[in-house]
Amino acid sequence: MVTLLMVTMIVGIMVVAGALVMRIAGEGGGGPTMTEIRVEAGYSVVSVDHGAGDRLVLVLEDASGAQVVRVYRTMGAAESYRVVED
């Protein structure tokens, strides 16, 4: 019984260690980076500004004329992102 428990614990530790290794290895690679921000229907872009370093500031206007300010934190320089209206 002790041997079975020991084998079960060893297998469990190997599974957890393998999952951690796969997760850590998967973070660095990955697919292409996303470099566009989509504005949903019903909003129009009034202005786009590049804030401090990695901030992208959008001023949007909805159909009623109300303005909405959205600040996005980007992965890298905000200048490399583009805004796409749907």
Residues 62, 82 share a domain? yes
Residues 48, 26 share a domain? no
**Non-local CB neighbours of 58 within 8 Å, separated by 6+ positions:** 37, 39, 45, 47, 48, 69, 70, 71, 72, 83
Residue 31 has what pLDDT? 54
Confidence band, pLDDT 50/70/90 cuts, at residue 8: very high
Residues 61, 82 share a domain? yes
8: which 2 tokens? Answer: 């079960």
Greater confidence (46 vs 78) lies with 46
Residues 67, 26 share a domain? no
5: containing domain? 1-31
Look at the chain and report how many structural domains it folds into: 2
Residue 12 has what pLDDT? 96
Residue 14 has what pLDDT? 96
Residues 37, 73 share a domain? yes
Select the highest-mean-pLDDT range: 9-18, 26-35, 68-77: 9-18
Mean pLDDT score of the chain, rounded to an integer?
A: 83
Other CB atoms within a 10 A radius of the CB of residue 60 amount to 20
Single out the residue of 11, 17, 56, 22 nearest to residue 36, CA to CA: 56
Residues 69, 44 share a domain? yes
Residues 75, 43 share a domain? yes
Q: What is the pLDDT of residues 41-69, one digit of tens each?
A: 888 889 888 777 778 888 999 889 899 88
Residue 86 has what pLDDT? 75
Can you tell me the distance from the alpha carbon of 7 to that of 20, in angstroms, rounded to the nearest whole number? 20
